[in-house]
Amino acid sequence: MIHIAVLGYGIVGSGVVQVLDKNSGRISQNAGQEIKIKYILDIREFDDCPYKSLFAKDFETIVNDPEIAVVVEAIGGIGAALEYTRRSLEAGKSVVTSNKELVAEYGSELLKLAMEKEVNYLFEASVGGGVPVIRPLAQCMTANIINEIYGILNGTTNYILTDMEKNGTDFSEALHEAQKKGYAESDPTADIEGHDACRKICILSSLAYGRHIFPRQVLTEGISGVTLKDIHYAAKLGYAIKLLGRSRAINDKVSVYVAPHLVSKHSLLAVIDGVMNAVVIRGNAVGNVVFCGAGAGKLPTASAVIADVIDAVKHLHARRWISWDECDAGLVVDSTLLDSAWYIRTDATRSKVEKEFGSVIFAGGTGNEAAFITGVMNGTMVGDLLSRGITVQSRFRVLGDY
Ligand code: HSE
User: 106 CA distance to ligand 1 centroid (A)?
Assistant: 19
Cα-to-centroid distance, 295 and ligand 1 (Å): 7
Task: State the average pLDDT over residues 212-231.
Answer: 96
| CA 258 remoteness from chain centre | 10
Q: What is the pLDDT of residue 400?
A: 84
Give backbone dihedrals phi and psi of 281, rounded to 5 degrees, phi first: -125, 125
Tell me: the pLDDT tens digits for 190-206? 999 999 999 999 999 99
pTM (predicted TM-score) = 0.95
What is the reported pLDDT for 153?
98
**Measured between alpha carbons, how far is 221 from 211 in angstroms, rounded to an integer?**
23
What positions carry a catalytic annotation?
200
Report the residue among 191, 204, 243, 277 best suited for mutation to probe ligand 1: largest number of ligand atoms under 8 A from its CB.
Answer: 191
Least confident of 61-70, 145-154, 353-362: 353-362
Whose alpha carbon is nearest atom 4 of ligand 1? 296
Own/partner long-range contacts of 100-103 (Cβ < 8 Å, ≥24 apart): 100/126, 100/127, 100/196, 100/199, 100/200, 100/203, 101/76, 101/77, 101/190, 101/199, 102/73, 102/77, 102/78, 103/199, 103/203
- Give the pLDDT confidence score for residue 365 in this predicted structure: 66
Which residues, 6 or more positions from 364, have their beta carbon under 8 angstroms from its beta carbon? 233, 236, 371
Q: Is 215 in the pocket of ligand 1 (CB under 6 A)?
A: no
pLDDT-derived band at 401 (thresholds 50, 70, 90) equals low
In the chain, the percentage of residues whose pLDDT exceeds 90 is 80
Q: Quick one: angle between helices 171-180 and 155-167, nearest 10?
A: 130
Confidence of residue 382 (pLDDT cuts 50, 70, 90): confident
Give the per-residue pLDDT at 369: 85
| CB 101 less than 6 A from any atom of ligand 1 | no
Over range 43-47, report the average pLDDT. 89
pLDDT of res. 391: 85
Q: Please give the pLDDT value at position 357.
A: 86
Cβ(183) to ligand 1 under 6 A?
A: yes
Which pLDDT does position 182 carry in this prediction? 83
Cβ of residue 258 lying under 6 Å from some atom of ligand 1: no
Q: Which atom of ligand 1 is closest in space to residue 184's alpha carbon?
A: 1
Region of 401 (left: φ > 0; alpha: ψ -120 to 50; beta: rest) is beta
For residue 185, pLDDT over 80 is answered with: no
Site to probe by mutation for ligand 1, drawn from 196, 275, 299, 301 as the one with most ligand atoms within 8 Å of Cβ, is 196
23-30 long-range contacts, Cβ below 8 Å, gap at least 24?
23/306, 27/306, 27/310, 30/310
Question: Would the pLDDT of 402 be above 60?
Answer: no
- Quote the percentage of the chain above a pLDDT of 70: 99
pLDDT digits (tens, 9 = 90+) for 133-184: 999 999 999 999 999 999 999 999 999 999 999 999 999 899 898 888 888 8
Task: Give tens-digit pLDDT for 313-356.
Answer: 999 878 777 889 999 889 999 999 899 999 999 988 888 888 88
Ligand 1 in reach of 193 Cβ (< 6 A) = no
CA of 166 to the centre of ligand 1 (A): 21
Q: Is the CB of 185 under 6 A from ligand 1?
A: yes
> Is the model's pLDDT at 208 over the cut of 60?
yes
Eight-class DSSP state of 206: H
